[in-house]
Amino acid sequence: MENLAIFIKMAYCLTLAFSILWTDLRMSPPVVHGKVVDGGRLIVPAAFRKEMGLAKGDAVIMEMHGDELRVRPAKSALKRLREKLRASSAEDVCVVDELIAERRRDSGDE
């Protein structure tokens, strides 16, 4: 049990050392330790918020992948969705016009 405690302390120290090294190199630290605070809130480090383009009040999308929580800005998810839709539709076709025509056909069938 004592060896496990020593191992955990050593791992924490190594993680902290790597974070300091990466910060000194002016790069985002690959791993940051944090805590869940009152109300289940997680504090996102300023460097991460800056890199993700997040500001106070911005919407985010959270997904569970196994035992990992992935967080991304909602605006980037919307941008990816638009790009996928743009790529999957023909360039000379207006999706809105197609939808209106489809609705008119459906209402005429009733």
**Contact of 100 with 108, CB cutoff 8 Å:** no
Look up the pTM and report it: 0.47
pLDDT per position in the chain (110 positions), as tens?
677 777 777 777 677 666 666 655 555 556 788 888 999 998 888 888 888 899 999 999 899 989 989 898 988 877 777 777 777 665 666 777 778 888 888 887 65
Q: Which long-range contacts (CB under 8 A, 24 or more apart) does 45-53 make?
A: 52/76
Q: Which residues, 6+ apart, have CB-to-CB distance to 48 below 8 Å?
A: 28, 32, 54
The structure tokens listed for 104 are: 């008119």
User: What is the domain partition of the chain in residue ranges?
Assistant: 1-32
